[in-house]
Amino acid sequence: MTEESFEPKIVGFLCNWCSYAGADLAGTSRTKYKPNVRVIRVMCSGRVDPLFVLKAFEKGADGVLIAGCHPGDCHYMSGNYKTRRRMELMRRMLEQFGINPERLRLEWVSAAEGARFAHVVNDMTEKIRELGPSPINGGATDE
Amino acid sequence: MGVAVYICHCGVNIAKTVDVKKVVEEIEKMPEVTICRDYQYMCSDPGQELVKKDINKYQPSSVVIAACSPRMHYPTFQGTLKEAKMNPYCLEMANIREQCSWVHEDKERATEKAISLVKSAVAKAALLEPLIENEVPVTPAALVIGGGIAGIQSALDIAEAGYKVYLVEREPSIGGHMAQFDKTFPTLDCAACILTPKMVDVARHPNIELRAYSEVEDISGYIGNFKVKIRKKPRYVSEEHCVACGDCATECRLADRIPNEFDHNLSKRSAIYVPFPQAVPLKYTIDPDRCLMITRGKCGKSPKCVDACSANAIDFEQKEEVEEVEVGTIVVATGYSEFDPAQKPELHFNDLGNVLTGLQFERIFAPNGPTSGELVINGKVPKKIAFASCTGSRDKRVGNPYCSRVCCMYIAKQAHLVKEHIPDADVSVYYCDVRAFGKGYEEFYERVQKEGVHYRRGLISEVYEEDGRVHVRGEDSLMAEPFDEGVDLLVLGTGIIPNADSNEMGQLLHISNSSDGFYLEAHPKLRPVDTVTDGIFLAGCAQGPKDIPDTVAQAGAAAAHVIDVLSKGKITIEPYNAVVDTDLCGGCRICESLCPFDAHHFNEEKGVMEINDTLCKGCGVCGAACPAGAISLNHFRDTQIFAQIGAVLND
Amino acid sequence: MSKPKIAFYWAGSCGGCEVAVVDLGEKIYDVVDAFDIVFWPVAIDTKYDDIRNLEDGEIEVCFFNGCIRNEENEEIARLLRQKSKVMIAFGSCSHLGGIPGLGNLSSRDETLDYVYRKTPVSGNEGGTMPCTTCVKDGNTIDLPALRTEVSALNDVVDVDYYIPGCPPPLPVIEGAVAALMNGELPRKGAVLSTEKTVCDECDKEKRKKMVGKARRIYDDDVDPSRCLLEQGIPCMGPATRGGCEAACPSANMPCTGCMGPPPASQEQGSRMVTAITSLIGVENEREATAEEVAEALASLRDPVGFFYMYSLPTSFLKRRYNDE
Ligand SMILES: Cc1cc2nc3c(=O)[nH]c(=O)nc-3n(C[C@H](O)[C@H](O)[C@H](O)COP(=O)(O)OP(=O)(O)OC[C@H]3O[C@@H](n4cnc5c(N)ncnc54)[C@H](O)[C@@H]3O)c2cc1C
Ligand code: SF4
Ligand code: SF4
Ligand code: SF4
Ligand code: SF4
Ligand code: FES
C-alpha cells in the first residue's frame, strides 16, 4: 500500500449517552468529517473491555477510538473513570507489544460537542495515516 | 429464520450520498440475511407495514433497520416488531444517516461505510436474543428531600393527587431561602404572603408526613421500591407538648448571645429558638452545639428554659430516632447555598462592617429580620449604596464559571427597595452584564433604572476602608475610566452554589453531579427533571440556579413524574442488564464495588455473585471487569460486539 | 492382546512437567500396567525412528509437554500427532506457550544475541553464534533452528485435550489419567480441569474489593487470612482456571496464572488488566489529569510480562510487533 492510498481503518466505541449523541449532533449539524471510523455503540465507555481493543487490533484495525462522557458527566457516574484507567494500562501494554500507543485513543465528547467529534475523527485519521498500516495488518514484522 | 434487513432512503437524506441499491446488493450476499429491502421512508406507516408483513411471511429471528440514529427511532421500530408479535429486542439499527450520509461527501466512500455499518448490524443481529422486560410493583408513596419552595410545591402536588409524601427537611422549619425574603422580583409580591400559606398547608395535609429537623441517612432499593432511613435529630423539646409560647427563649441564659443563622448572623438568638416566627412546624429547638446543659451538662442551678416552660415540653433525654419508610419515587429538592465572599479576599468581606451579602440584605428588608424591616446598617441609615454583581458567579478563579441567574434581578429588586425606603439614596450597581431574561424582568430592570439607580459597567476589583467608609475601586469599561467611590454600604451580588454535601448526597442517591456540582439531569433538554436513576427526580435549585417561577414549574413537573409512576402501580425496566453465570463465577468479588447502583449481592453460601436486575442499569462496567468472563451484558454481549468488530474490519 | 501404547514427549520445556509425572508416585504403576510406554525420552531409550516406524494412530495417547520453540519441537509434534489417536497438551507451555512464550517479546535475533553474547556469564569473546549445520571430523551435523516465535502446541497440530498447569498439579493429572483409563474423556478440545477460577478454591477471606495501590507480597503488613488482591497484591487467581487447589495463595504467594484462562475468558492477560485497573482508585478522580492516572497505575510494572506470564503466544496479539 502506498502512503497516499492508505486509508486507515479505525474502530470507534462510543458511549450511548454522550459521545454517540455527540456524533449524532455532528450529523444533524451536517459537519463533515472523514469516513474512516466505524462506530460500535455501547451503553457506557465503561463497557469497553480491553479485550475489545485487542480484538480490534487482532482483526486488523489500524486504530481504536474510545469516546465517553467528560469526567463527572458519565450517565452511570463513574464508568469513564474505569475506562481511563484501563486504557492507560492498555497503552503501556501496546507499547510492550510493539504497537504504537497512539493507535489507541481515548476522548471525552459530550452530547453537545458534534464539532469536537468531527475534529477528533479527522485528527485521528490523519495521525494514523502518518503512522501507516498497523504492523499486525501485514505491516512490518520483526524479521 | 435469519435476519431481515431494511435500508431506508430517508427521502434523499440518505440516498443522496449513499448508493442504497449497492448496499442492498452487498447485504443480500450475507449468509445470515433472509430478506433485504430498501424503502423511501422506513419510519412511515407503509414502511413499518412492510416490516410487519415480512415478519409474518419470513419469521426472521431478528430485524435490522439501516436508517437514522437508534437514539431517534429505536423505540419506533421496537413498536413495529411488537405489533408483529416479535420480541422488540431482536432489533438492531445501523445509523447510516447522522453518522454517514449527513457527514460525508464522497459518495463511494460513504456507500462503503454504510455497507460496513449494516454488515456490523447484521452480524450483531444474528446473535441477538429475545429479552423480557421486567415488571416491578410500585409502593404508592413518595419521598421529597428538602422543604424549600421546590419541595413544598412538589409535596403538595403529590399529596393532592392522593399519594402519601414524606417531606424531609434538615432545618427546624421548612421554607428554605424564600422564607428569608421580604419581596420577590419582578412583581414585588410579599414572599411571606405567598409562601406561608403553603407551609401551613404542608403541615395540615393528611397525606403529608413532615419530617423536619431530619435527614436522609440511607437509601436502598430501586424505582417503585426504595427503602429510606430517615434520621430525626433530637430537638430536646417535645413536639407534642410545645405550644410555642417562647417563654423558654426569653428566659434562656444565652438569650441574645448566639448568632442567628436565619438572619445570616445579623442578629442574636437564644440557645432554644425558632428560626422565624412563621416557622412550620412551630416548635422550639435546642441548639445542641450551644446549650449549656448539652455542652457542659449543667446550666446554672437548673436550666432556665425548663423552669419557664409551663407545658413541660423540654426533654434533655430525647434521643435521635431512625425511621425506615418505603416509597416508590424520590424528589430531590435540596436547593442551594450562598457563595462565601471570603473566597475573594480582595472584597474584605469579613474585615469590613459595611459589606453585606445578598441574603443578608434580604434580611434587612424583612419585617421579621434583624432591623424589623428598617434600612439601618450598624445603627445608621446608609445614603450611598453600591451593589457588586457577579460575586462568585461567572468567575473561573473561584471555580464557578456559570451564571447564578438570580443575582442581577435580586440586585434590581434590592436597589428598588432601597429607593423605596430612602428615595434620595445614591444607588449604583457595578455590573458586567445585566441578564434580565425572564417574563417581566427586562421591564423591571428598566423601571429600576428609571427610579434613579445608576448602572455602571465595570466590576469592582478592590475594596478598602477609608474615613469610616467603604471604598470600591475598579474600571468603568463603558467610559474607559477608573472609579473609586466611598459608600456607606456595599452589597455583594453573591451567587448560588451547590450545597457542601451535594457530592455525598449524589452518592447516597446514586445520581450524578454535573461539573458545577449541581445534580445532573438525565438530558439537558428533553429530560430536565429526571436523573439517571429511574424514580428519582429533581426540583428547584438542586439541579442548578434558578428563580422562584422556574423552581415552582420544575417542582410541579417533578410531581407530575412522580404521580405518573405511582399511578401506574407497576413499572417496566429495560432488560439490558448484566447476568452472572454462576457456574463460572469464582466469587472473587471484583465486580461488586464497581457497580454505581449497588446491584451486586454476594451470595456467601454459594460463594457466587448475584445481580439484581431491577437495580442494574446495564452500563457494562462490571462485565468489562469480570476476570472470569462470567458476566454478560444483555444486548451487548462480548460475542455480539466481537461479531461487530469482525464485520467492520471485513473479517 | 497387547496393551495400548502411550508416549511422553518434551519440547521447549524446563523438565518440570516430567517431574510432575514422576510425582504420580505409585500411581504410575497403574499407568504402566494399563499401557505400554513406547516413547519417553527423559526416562527410556528410544529413537525418533522407532516412532517413525509405527503405524499412523498406533499410539493411543501422547502427552506432549513444552512449547514449540525450535524446528525440532515442531517436527516431532507433527510426527507424534500423526502417530497418536489422542494428543494431549500437557502443562502450560504446550497448552498456552508458557513462560518461554514471553520470548515473543523479543525477536529471534535479539534473543540469540542476548543469550550468546550479552549475558554477563557468556564469555563468548569470539562472538560465536549457533548455526544449523556444523561439520566436525568430516561429519555434518544438522541442528534445529530457533523459530521466529514461540507457539503453543495447537498452533502447529490439532490438539484433543489440555492438561493445564506449570507444572500440572497432581490432582489434575490424576483426574485426567482416571478419565483416560475409564474412557470418560469429555468433548474434544476440553481443558481437563475445573471450570471455576482459582479464587473459588482459595479459602482466603474475600470482602467487597477496593484496592488502593498495588503492593508487593513482602510488604510487612499483609494479612495472610485475607484475599491478597484486596490488599493490593496483584494475584492472577480471579482470571485463572482452578484445579490447583489454589496452591500458591494457600502458601501466601499470589497466583501467577499458570492454569490459564477459565472457559469464558478468552484472554487471561487483558481480563486481569481490566479487573485490576478497575479496582485501583485515583484520588479526586474528576479533576485528575492523565499524569495522575498514570501515576496511580505506575506500581503495576511490566504488565505484559506479569499478566501474560504463561499465555502470551495464545493471546490475541501473540507477540511483539514492530511499529515504526
Ligand atoms: C439573595 C437572593 C435573593 C433572591 N430573590 C429572589 C426573588 O426575589 N425572586 C425569585 O424568583 N427568586 C429569588 N431568589 C432565588 C430563590 O431563592 C430560589 O429560586 C428558591 O429559593 C429555590 O428554592 P429551592 O426550594 O430550590 O431551594 P431552597 O430555598 O434552598 O430550599 C432547599 C431546602 O432544602 C433543605 N435541605 C438542603 N439539603 C437538605 C438535605 N440534605 N436534607 C434535607 N433537607 C435539605 C434546606 O434546608 C432548604 O430548606 C433569590 C436568591 C438569592 C440568593
Ligand atoms: S468479577 Fe466475575 S468472578 Fe468475580 S465475583 Fe464478580 S462475577 Fe464472580
Ligand atoms: S452493568 Fe453496570 S449497573 Fe449493571 S450490575 Fe454491572 S455495574 Fe451495575
Ligand atoms: S488471594 Fe488471589 S486467588 Fe485468593 S481470593 Fe484473592 S485474588 Fe483470588
Ligand atoms: S495458584 Fe495460580 S500459579 Fe499457582 S498453581 Fe494455581 S494457577 Fe498456577
Ligand atoms: S455513559 Fe458516557 S462514559 Fe459512561
| CATH number of the domain enclosing C157 | 3.40.50.700
> Could you tell me if residue C322 is inside a domain?
no
Does residue A108's CB lie within 6 angstroms of at least one atom of ligand 6?
A: no
How far is Cα C255 from Cα C268, in angstroms, rounded to an integer?
13
What ranges do the domains of chain B cover? Answer: 3-131, 247-308, 337-497, 578-634
Q: What pLDDT is attached to residue C95?
A: 98
> Are B5 and B58 contacting, i.e. CB atoms less than 8 angstroms apart?
no
Query: Among all chains, which residue has been given the C-alpha cell 498447569?
Result: C165
- Which residues fall within 8 angstroms of residue C47, CB to CB, at 6 or more apart? none
For domain B578-634, say whether CATH 3.30.70.20 is its number: yes
> Could you tell me if residue C74 is inside a domain?
yes
Does the beta-carbon distance from C302 to A55 stay under 8 Å?
Answer: no
- Which residues fall within 8 angstroms of residue B509, CB to CB, at 6 or more apart? B219, B330, B332, B531, B533, B536
Q: Is C95 in the same domain as C113?
A: no
Closest CA to C249 of C274, C230, C221: C230
- Which residues fall within 8 angstroms of residue C113, CB to CB, at 6 or more apart? none
H or E segment and range at residue B549: helix B548-568
C-alpha cell at position A84: 481511563
How far is Cα B449 from Cα B465, in angstroms, rounded to an integer?
28
> Are C151 and C313 contacting, i.e. CB atoms less than 8 angstroms apart?
yes
* Residue B75 burial (10 A CB sphere; 0-12, 13-18, 19+): exposed
How far is Cα B51 from Cα B562, in angstroms, rounded to an integer?
36
Does residue C255's CB lie within 6 angstroms of at least one atom of ligand 5?
A: yes
Q: Is C17 in the same domain as C166?
A: yes
**Cα–ligand 6 centroid distance for A45 (angstroms):** 5
* 3-state secondary structure (DSSP) of residue C135: strand
* pLDDT, tens digit (0-9, with 9 covering 90-100), for C167-206: 999 999 999 988 988 888 899 999 999 999 999 999 999 9
Q: What pLDDT is attached to residue C212?
A: 67
H or E segment and range at residue B105: none
Q: Is C34 in the same domain as C170?
A: yes
C-alpha cell at position B90: 431482536
Pocket test for ligand 3, best of B510, B598, B601, B617 (most atoms within 8 A of CB): B617
Which of C288, C297, C323 has the CB atom closest to A98's CB atom?
C323
From the CA of B609, the nearest ligand is: 2
Q: Is B625 on the interface with C (CB under 8 A)?
A: yes
* Residue B343 burial (10 A CB sphere; 0-12, 13-18, 19+): middle
From the CA of C237, the nearest ligand is: 4
Q: Is C48 in the same domain as C157?
A: yes
> Could you tell me if residue C193 is inside a domain?
no
C-alpha cell at position B503: 457530592
Does residue C228's CB lie within 6 angstroms of at least one atom of ligand 5?
A: no
Does the beta-carbon distance from B104 to A21 stay under 8 Å?
Answer: no
Neighbours of C203 (CB within 10 A): 10
C-alpha cell at position B172: 427546624
From the CA of B232, the nearest ligand is: 1
CATH of region B3-131, choose from 3.40.50, 1.20.1630, 1.10.443, 3.30.70: 3.40.50
Closest CA to B617 of A108, A14, A78: A78
> Are B358 and B338 contacting, i.e. CB atoms less than 8 angstroms apart?
yes
Does the beta-carbon distance from A85 to C296 stay under 8 Å?
Answer: yes
Per-residue confidence band for C1, with pLDDT thresholds at 50, 70 and 90 = low
> Could you tell me if residue C310 is inside a domain?
yes
Q: What pLDDT is attached to residue B571?
A: 86
Q: What pLDDT is attached to residue C121?
A: 85
Q: Is C164 in the same domain as C223?
A: no
- Asked if pLDDT for residue A3 goes beyond 60, the answer is no
How far is Cα A51 from Cα C320, in angstroms, rounded to an integer?
17
Domain extent for C11: 5-99+153-181
Contacts of C229 in chain B (CB under 8 A): 588, 590
Q: Which amino acid is at B497?
A: I
Query: Among all chains, which residue has been given the C-alpha cell 449539524?
Result: A29
Mutating which of A57, A74, A87, A88 best tests the C interface, going by the most C Cβ atoms within 10 A? A88
Closest alpha carbon within chain B to A47: B620
How far is Cα B78 from Cα B88, in angstroms, rounded to an integer?
5
* C neighbours by CB contacts (3+ pairs under 8 Å): A, B
Cα B526 from chain centroid (whole Å): 14
Identify the residue whose C-alpha is closest to ligand 2 atom 2.
B626
Strands C133-136 and C139-142: antiparallel
How far is Cα B121 from Cα B640, in angstroms, rounded to an integer?
10
Does residue B589's CB lie within 6 angstroms of at least one atom of ligand 2?
A: yes
Q: How many domains does chain C fold into?
A: 3
Q: Is C205 in the same domain as C280?
A: yes
> Could you tell me if residue C136 is inside a domain?
yes
> Are C99 and C92 contacting, i.e. CB atoms less than 8 angstroms apart?
yes
From the CA of B518, the nearest ligand is: 1
* Residue C34 burial (10 A CB sphere; 0-12, 13-18, 19+): middle
* Residue C165 burial (10 A CB sphere; 0-12, 13-18, 19+): buried
Does residue B552's CB lie within 6 angstroms of at least one atom of ligand 3?
A: no
Rg of chain C taking only CA atoms, in angstroms: 22
For domain A10-135, say whether CATH 3.40.1000 is its number: no
Q: Is C68 in the same domain as C9?
A: yes
Closest alpha carbon within chain B to A73: B514
Distances (CA, A) of C181 to B198, C30, C175: 85, 9, 10
> Are A9 and B646 contacting, i.e. CB atoms less than 8 angstroms apart?
no
Residue A133, preceding bond cis, omega within 30 degrees?
Answer: no
From the CA of C194, the nearest ligand is: 5
How far is Cα A14 from Cα A10, in angstroms, rounded to an integer?
13
Which of B619, B641, B651 has the CB atom closest to A40's CB atom?
B641
**Cα–ligand 6 centroid distance for B308 (angstroms):** 60
What burial letters (b/e) apply to C266-305, b meaning 16+ CB within 10 Å? bbbbbbbbbbbbbbbebeebbebeeeebbebbeebeebbe
Considering only CB atoms, which residues of chain A are within 8 Å of chain C? 49-51, 53-55, 57-58, 71-72, 78, 81-82, 84-86, 88-90, 92-93, 96-100, 103, 131-132, 134-136, 139-143
How far is Cα B334 from Cα B340, in angstroms, rounded to an integer?
18
H or E segment and range at residue C120: none
**∠ Cα C3 C5 C6 (to 5°):** 135
Q: Is B645 on the interface with C (CB under 8 A)?
A: no
Does the beta-carbon distance from A44 to B620 stay under 8 Å?
Answer: yes
DSSP state, residue B453: P
* A neighbours by CB contacts (3+ pairs under 8 Å): B, C
Q: Is C127 in the same domain as C213?
A: no
Beta strands in B170-315 (DSSP E): 183-184, 189-190, 208-211, 214-222, 225-232, 258-259, 268-269, 272-273, 285-286
How far is Cα C319 from Cα C147, in angstroms, rounded to an integer?
13
Q: Is C114 in the same domain as C17?
A: no
Query: Among all chains, which residue has been given the C-alpha cell 424531609?
Result: B168
H or E segment and range at residue B380: none
- Which residues fall within 8 angstroms of residue B504, CB to CB, at 6 or more apart? none
Does residue B575's CB lie within 6 angstroms of at least one atom of ligand 3?
A: no
> Could you tell me if residue C192 is inside a domain?
no
Identify the residue whose C-alpha is closest to ligand 2 atom 1.
B626
Query: Among all chains, which residue has been given the C-alpha cell 427521502?
Result: B11
Closest alpha carbon within chain C to A98: C321
Does residue B619's CB lie within 6 angstroms of at least one atom of ligand 3?
A: yes
Does residue A45's CB lie within 6 angstroms of at least one atom of ligand 6?
A: yes
C-alpha cell at position C292: 495522575
Does the beta-carbon distance from B625 to C275 stay under 8 Å?
Answer: yes
Q: What is the CATH topology of the domain spanning B337-497?
A: FAD/NAD(P)-binding domain (3.50.50)
Considering only CB atoms, which residues of chain C are within 8 Å of chain B? 195-200, 206-210, 227, 229, 237-239, 242, 261-266, 271-272, 274-275, 278-279, 286
C-alpha cell at position C195: 471450570
Q: What pLDDT is attached to residue C22?
A: 87
Q: Is B585 on the interface with C (CB under 8 A)?
A: yes
How far is Cα B466 from Cα C91, in angstroms, rounded to an integer?
87
- Which residues fall within 8 angstroms of residue B64, CB to CB, at 6 or more apart? B3, B4, B5, B6, B91, B92, B93, B94, B118, B121, B122, B125
Q: Is C222 in the same domain as C86?
A: no
> Are C97 and C104 contacting, i.e. CB atoms less than 8 angstroms apart?
yes
Does residue B369's CB lie within 6 angstroms of at least one atom of ligand 1?
A: no
Q: What pLDDT is attached to residue B352?
A: 84
Cα B444 from chain centroid (whole Å): 29
Query: Among all chains, which residue has been given the C-alpha cell 452487498?
Result: B26
How far is Cα C316 from Cα A57, in angstroms, rounded to an integer?
9
- For C272-290, what is the mean pLDDT? 85
- Asked if pLDDT for residue A142 goes beyond 60, the answer is no
- Asked if pLDDT for residue C233 goes beyond 80, the answer is yes
Q: Which residue ranges of chain B lie beneath pLDDT 50?
A: none
**CA dihedral of B524, A73, B551, B369, whole degrees rounded to 10:** -150
Closest alpha carbon within chain B to C242: B586
**Cα–ligand 5 centroid distance for A50 (angstroms):** 23
- Which residues fall within 8 angstroms of residue B564, CB to CB, at 6 or more apart? none
> Are A36 and A7 contacting, i.e. CB atoms less than 8 angstroms apart?
yes
Can you say whether residue B57 is alpha, beta or left, with left for phi > 0 and alpha for psi between -120 and 50 degrees?
A: alpha
C-alpha cell at position B199: 407551609
Min Cα separation B585/chain C (Å): 7
The more confidently predicted of residues B471 and C28 is B471
> Are B158 and B180 contacting, i.e. CB atoms less than 8 angstroms apart?
no
The secondary structure of B504-528 as a DSSP string is HHHHHHT--B-TTSSBPPSBTTTBS
Query: Among all chains, which residue has been given the C-alpha cell 513462560?
Result: C99
Closest CA to A117 of B102, B279, C322: B102
Q: Is C63 in the same domain as C176?
A: yes
Q: What pLDDT is attached to residue A139?
A: 46
Which of B583, B588, B638 has the CB atom closest to C238's CB atom?
B588
- Which residues fall within 8 angstroms of residue B604, CB to CB, at 6 or more apart? none
C141 pairs with which residues across the strands? Answer: C134
Pocket test for ligand 6, best of A13, A15, A106 (most atoms within 8 A of CB): A15
**∠ Cα C59 C64 C66 (to 5°):** 160
Q: Is C116 in the same domain as C228?
A: no
